């Protein structure tokens, strides 16, 4: 047993101060926040949210916190769960590429709901969110790739730590209680990969947000757990993975920040297929391609693509987000891949289906995860090739602030009143200096 | 992939009728219910419950259901969580010996809370509870012992299926929605063994009860999941165990009933040490032993005892419940092992501590789990030996109805008004014929 991993992390979190955070980290939290608020509002009227609200409303507590993009208000733990679900419904949220964790989805809903309940400055909000993301991404790095290969969904399984740490920090837990909060999180992993393609995938960060909050509130009151929840012989890391790189959790805390590797998606689907979409869109633009001119689409891909997105014949929009076949086809058919391109109707369109059936993926172990090679054989025999070195939205080719604002506006239009859109953008960019971070939630309601 | 395990179970549950249940099964549900209500009320004033209530109360919903043994009323999902926690605080609840699942703790709180919210007959209550226990115990049998050896706590990890199935049945879900409820349960395993000895162990059935209910309510409204949540390649059984005996889930459904193997504890601690306590109490009685006459206590035990209860120097009552050393000592010192013998003070008593340090366990692979051999060497050199063939409370040596009633009275005295104790016992024995099963919850409030 590796001693002291959980307590090491807990002591760091309990002692961390807002003034410790480098400017670049505070800026990246604002970028993550803007992206997250946009995707959560964008999905707020989706059937998944309507159903979850109907199921939960009869049992919810006082109207303490907003469900983003809606008039509904719930107790903070249920609001966090709902906002965690809407974060991930479009699969359009931020991603830590090295672990596939979606960092904001379990963390931001917890902190924002809490900010409506116990007054919290923007500085405290930023600190809590940065530390939550730090914890979940480091814990994920300690156990992936085996953790994911076994079948876990790290956004849920590690996200619960992020929510517990962020909430615990916002509550001011001392190191010991923080360790107990982490222990309670360790005993509540949520998310198995079989659920990909159903509404339950987005349930994972939602329940993780809520379970993490519950962990912190229980620990605050003195509920006891283990102080070695992560590293004990029968602890989280040994049970949920065959790899335990504890140094990934403990080394360089406060010196490096995981959020600096955060990436944002230009396409509303599983990130691993983005390079393929990029390549198809580029070839479409360069040669004016239409589906009828295409005989065959060969795509060379990183092995993870077939692990996560091998659905050959998706029949719903959700399934389409996890199909490399559909991804290539829609890149050619539409030339964009926003949320409308992942509707049930789009996925069932006969022209797209026919093109989808011409897509032939091949694993190439020499490729990085943000790379792909697309080779299109035309009906006239010509072969067109495009190598994508870094997909748009990857760490080496990040979305700009302006691109993030444009994505935000696309997502919230029609949900948030027009005169409030820019105000909400300004609140996110200026979160660090807000007197009351709860203002963001109030502005993000319908 | 083994096809159709989840759907097979879902179809069985959706089609099952109260009239299918043999008399002996309905009787055993009543015995399980009586035992469960007693332990939940008994622990209702414990610090663990006080803390959990303080943490949850600010966020709880309408006062729909009773916290047993108390005046507090919470929304049904939080009430089920609290009652699930109190079920297990004393570690005095029922046990399926072949899997170590505590069957009632995650299931009964869910069904009883629901019975206060949507009127439910006693017959429907009994059917839902029987089916929930059937599901959780069968799923556990499919994956233990490796599932437990890896480090999971089956009462939580399998209990969430029990709560989902029981709630789903009470809600009248069809087979497809039942499968989705099972899928949502599969993605929310709760409980790792590192938490044994802290308040978090009892959190496991509590959160399992709540997560299972949530799964059923979401599925009821049309939230989608996988219909192969248990058996898929990246499904629950493959991820959480190295053994998948799917026949244990599907074969003989409706012909055999898991609850017929249920056992009830005479001692308020981990079941695996009961044979040791039995042996010590018998030798104490036979020879009038006192601690000062004893030089050494050798105990031969099944290997699981050292897996689960190897705490050599427990310092709290909770830790004492998981110490074979303390168990042997308290059997000699007190001659009984009820809840008072697992207080912090009892565990720290110097005489008991001194005797505890004289206990020497030795693993004997030829012993069954309900067996032990106790050999006491006296200071005068004599050696006394007792072989326990079947511990009291085991399937081969079950507690009688009268013993269960006596245990119930011991537990609820001082919490439930005296004139209501017999009424509550009668409600449990007569549950099958009640017009309104919610009457049990109302009578079990303070």
Span B364-397, pLDDT tens digits: 999 999 899 999 999 999 999 999 999 988 888 9
Looking at the complex, does the CB of residue A86 fall below 8 Å from at least one CB of chain B?
Answer: no
- Provide the pLDDT for residue B340: 85
Query: Residues 160 to 199 of B: which have CB under 8 A from any A CB?
Result: 183-184, 186-195, 198-199
Six token digits for residue B283: 């030798």
Give the up-direction half-sphere exposure of residue B189: CA atoms within 13 A in the CB hemisphere.
33
Note whether A112 and A82 are within 8 A (CB): no
Q: Do A200 and B233 touch (CB under 8 A)?
A: no
Which residues in chain B have Cβ-Cβ distances shorter than 8 Å to A222?
51
Q: Token pair of A18, please?
A: 């807002």
> How do residues B69-78 score in pLDDT, each as one tens digit?
999 999 999 9
Whole-number pLDDT of residue A211:
98
**Which residues between 233 and 272 in chain B have a beta carbon less than 8 angstroms from any beta carbon of chain A?**
233-236, 238-239
**Cβ–Cβ of A77/B59 closer than 8 Å?**
yes
Instruction: Please tell me if residue B304 touches chain A, with a CB cutoff of 8 Å.
Output: no
Binary contact (A51, B218; C-beta < 8 A) = yes
Q: For an interface test with A, which of B80, B85, B192, B220 has the most A Cβ atoms less than 10 Å from its Cβ?
A: B192
For residue A121, the tally of other CB atoms under 10 A from its CB is: 17
Cα gap A295→A377, rounded to integer Å: 6
Residue B3: pLDDT above 80? no
pLDDT for A121: 98
For chain B, what are the domain ranges?
A: 5-264+400-444, 271-388
What's the gap in Å between the CA of A342 and the closest CA on chain B? Answer: 17
- Considering only alpha carbons, which residue of chain B is nearest residue A78? B59
The pLDDT value recorded for residue A97 is 87
- Which of A77, A153, A187 minimises the CB distance to B191? A187
**Residues 44-63 in A contacting B (C-alpha not used; CB under 8 Å):** 48, 51-52, 54-56, 58-62
Q: Locate A343 and state its tokens.
A: 């509707």
Pairwise CA distance, residues A124 & A29, whole Å: 12
Averaged pLDDT of chain A? 96
Looking at the DSSP bridge assignments, the partners of residue B101 are B96
CA distance A77 to chain B (A): 7
Interchain contact, A51 vs B156, CB within 8 Å: no
- pLDDT single digits (tens) A308-352: 999 999 999 989 999 999 999 999 999 989 888 999 999 999 999
Query: Sign of dihedral through CA atoms A97, A103, A106, A109?
Result: negative
* Whole-prediction pTM: 0.91
CA atoms of A204 and A209, how far apart (whole Å): 9
**Residue B108 to chain A, least CA–CA distance (Å):** 19
> What pLDDT shows up at residue A338?
86
Cβ of A59 within 8 Å of Cβ of B56? The answer is no
Chain B hits for A55, CB-CB cut-off 8 Å, are 214, 217-218, 220-221, 223
Q: Is A381 on the interface with B (CB under 8 A)?
A: no
pLDDT of residue A259: 97
Cα–Cα separations (whole angstroms), residue A406 to A34, A259, A337, B290, B318: 11, 21, 14, 80, 56
Q: CA–CA distance from A368 to each of A130, A153, A281, A321, A374 (Å)?
A: 27, 21, 19, 20, 14
Instruction: Tell me, yes or no, if A402 comes closer than 8 A to chain B by beta carbon.
Output: no
* Cβ-Cβ contacts under 8 Å, A223 against chain B: 48, 51-52, 55, 199-200, 203
Q: Do A194 and B222 touch (CB under 8 A)?
A: no
Q: What are phi and psi of B429, to 5 degrees?
A: -60, -35
Quick one: residue B332, left, alpha or beta (phi over 0 = left, psi -120 to 50 = alpha)? Answer: alpha
Question: What is the distance in angstroms between the Cα of B96 and the nearest Cα belonging to chain A?
Answer: 22
- Of A194, A233, A239, which is closest to B232 when you measure between CB atoms? A194
Choose among B396, B207, B231, B371: nearest CA to A160. B207
Strands (E), A173-285: 262-263
Dist CA B375 CA B392 (whole Å)? 19
- Collect all residues of chain B within an 8 Å Cβ-Cβ radius of residue A61: 58-61, 75
User: pLDDT band for position B271 (50/70/90)?
Assistant: confident
Contacts of A211 in chain B (CB under 8 A): 207
> Taking CB atoms and an 8 Å limit, are B151 and A54 in contact across chains?
no
Strand order in the sheet with A383-388: A359-363, A294-301, A372-378, A383-388
Rounded Cα distance between A11 and B208, Å, is 30
Q: What is the pLDDT of residue A395?
A: 82
Question: Are B204 and A214 a contacting pair at CB < 8 A?
Answer: no
Q: Phi, psi (5° rounding) for residue B138?
A: -65, -40
Q: Which residues of A touch B225 (CB under 8 A)?
A: 195, 198-200
Give the gyration radius of chain A's Cα atoms.
Answer: 21
Residue B47: strand pairing partners: none
Mean pLDDT, rounded, for B67-90: 97
Within an 8 Å CB–CB cutoff, is residue A77 touching chain B?
A: yes
Burial of A120 (0-12, 13-18, 19+ CB in 10 A): buried
Shortest distance between the Cα of B390 and any Cα of chain A, in A, equals 30
Size of interface A-B (CB pairs under 8 A): 179
Contact predicate B127/B17, CB 8 Å: yes
With a cut of 90, say whether residue A396 has pLDDT above it.
no
- Nearest neighbour of A224 by CB, restricted to B61, B199, B235: B199
Percent over 90 (pLDDT), chain B:
93
- Per residue in B12-21, pLDDT (tens digit) is 999 999 999 9
Whole-angstrom distance, CA of residue A188 vs CA of residue A160: 7
Asked if B183's CB is within 8 angstroms of A188's CB, the reply is no
Q: What is the dihedral of CA A172, A176, A177, A179, to 10 degrees?
A: 110
Instruction: Supply the DSSP string of A372-440, one letter for each residue.
Output: EEEEEEETTS-EEEEEESS-TTBTTBPPPHHHHHHHHHHHHBTTB-HHHHHHHHHHHHTGGG-S-THHH
Question: What's the average model confidence in pLDDT over A269-288?
Answer: 94
Q: What is the pLDDT of residue A91?
A: 87
Average pLDDT estimate for B327-343 = 93
Q: Using CA coordinates, name the residue in chain B closest to A183.
A: B195
pLDDT interval class at A68 (50, 70, 90): very high
Residue written as token pair 């629901």 = B114
CATH code assigned to A271-388: 3.30.1330.120
Q: Would you call B218 and A203 a contact, using CB atoms and an 8 Å cutoff? A: yes
Pair of tokens at residue A110: 């917890």
B110 to chain A, closest Cα gap in Å: 13
Contact B138, B258 (CB under 8 A): yes
Q: What is the pLDDT of residue A271?
A: 83
Q: Predicted confidence band at A20 (pLDDT cuts at 50, 70, 90)?
A: very high
pLDDT of residue B394: 82
ipTM of the complex: 0.90
pLDDT tens per residue, range A172-200: 999 999 999 999 999 999 999 999 989 99
A75–B56 CB contact, under 8 Å:
no
pLDDT tens-digit map of A222-236 = 999 999 999 999 999
Q: How far apart are the first and last CA of chain B?
A: 50
Q: Is A19 on the interface with B (CB under 8 A)?
A: no
Using the predicted structure, report yes or no on whether residue B140 has a pLDDT greater than 60.
Answer: yes
**Average pLDDT over every residue of B435-443:** 97
pLDDT of residue A394: 82
Tell me the per-residue pLDDT of A101-121, one tens digit each, with 9 for 90 and over: 999 999 999 999 999 999 999
pLDDT for B1 beyond 60: no
Percent of chain A with pLDDT over 70: 99
Q: Give the tens place of pLDDT for each residue, A246-257.
A: 999 999 999 999
Residues of B in contact with A214 (CB under 8 A): 55-56
The CATH code for residues A5-264+400-444 is 1.10.4100.10
- Interface touch A226/B193, C-beta < 8 Å: no
The confidence band for A275, taking pLDDT boundaries of 50, 70 and 90, is very high
Closest residue to A204, CB basis, from B183, B187, B193: B187
B322 touches chain A (CB under 8 A): no
- pLDDT at position A3 over 80: no
Cross-chain Cβ contact B59/A76 below 8 Å: yes
Distance from CA of A83 to the nearest CA of B (A): 16
Please provide the DSSP assignment of B259-283 as one string: GGGEE--SSSS-GGGHHHHHHHHHH
What's the mean pLDDT when you consider all of chain B?
96
* pLDDT number for residue A393: 87
Q: Is B270 within 8 Å of B26 (Cβ atoms)?
A: no
| Confidence label for A16 from pLDDT (cuts 50, 70 and 90) | very high
A33 beta partners: none
């Amino acid at each position: 047993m590796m001693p002291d991993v959980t307590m090491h992390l807990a002591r760091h979190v309990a002692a961390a101060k807002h003034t410790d955070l480098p400017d670049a980290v505070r800026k990246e939290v604002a970028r993550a926040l803007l992206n997250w608020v946009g995707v959560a509002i964008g999905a707020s009227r989706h059937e998944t949210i309507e159903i979850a609200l109907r199921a939960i409303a009869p049992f919810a507590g006082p109207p303490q916190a907003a469900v983003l993009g809606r008039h509904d208000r719930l107790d903070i733990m249920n609001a966090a769960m709902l906002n965690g679900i809407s974060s991930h419904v479009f699969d359009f949220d931020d991603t830590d590429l090295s672990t596939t964790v979606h960092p904001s989805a379990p963390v931001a809903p917890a902190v924002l709901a809490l900010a409506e309940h116990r007054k919290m400055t923007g500085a405290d909000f930023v600190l809590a969110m940065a530390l939550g993301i730090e914890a979940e991404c480091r814990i994920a790095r300690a156990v992936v790739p085996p953790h994911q290969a076994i079948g876990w969904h790290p956004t849920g399984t590690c996200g619960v730590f992020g929510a517990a740490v962020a909430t615990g920090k916002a509550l001011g837990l001392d190191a010991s209680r923080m360790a107990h909060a982490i222990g309670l999180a360790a005993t509540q992993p949520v998310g198995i990969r079989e659920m990909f393609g159903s509404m339950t995938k987005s349930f994972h960060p939602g329940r993780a947000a809520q379970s993490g909050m519950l962990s912190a509130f229980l620990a605050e009151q003195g509920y006891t757990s283990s102080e070695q929840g992560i590293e004990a012989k029968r602890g989280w890391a040994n049970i949920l993975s065959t790899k335990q790189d504890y140094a990934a959790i403990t080394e360089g805390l406060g010196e490096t920040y995981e959020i600096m590797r955060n990436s944002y998606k230009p396409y509303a689907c599983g990130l691993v297929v983005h390079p393929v979409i990029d390549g198809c869109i580029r070839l479409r633009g360069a040669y004016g391609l239409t589906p009828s001119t295409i005989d065959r689409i060969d795509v060379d891909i990183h092995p993870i693509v077939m692990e996560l997105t091998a659905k050959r014949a998706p029949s719903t929009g959700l399934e389409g987000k996890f199909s490399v076949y559909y991804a290539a086809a829609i890149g050619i058919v539409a030339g964009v891949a926003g949320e409308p391109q992942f509707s049930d109707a789009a996925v069932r369109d006969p022209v797209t289906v026919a093109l989808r059936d011409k897509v032939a993926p091949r694993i190439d172990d020499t490729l990085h995860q943000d790379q792909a090679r697309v080779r299109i054989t035309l009906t006239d025999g010509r072969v067109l090739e495009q190598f994508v070195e870094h997909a748009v939205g990857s760490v080496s080719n990040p979305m700009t602030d302006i691109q993030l604002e444009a994505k935000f506006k696309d997502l919230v239009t029609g949900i948030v009143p027009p005169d409030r859109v820019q105000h909400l953008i300004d609140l996110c960019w200026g979160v660090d200096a807000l007197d009351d971070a709860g203002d963001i939630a109030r502005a993000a309601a319908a």
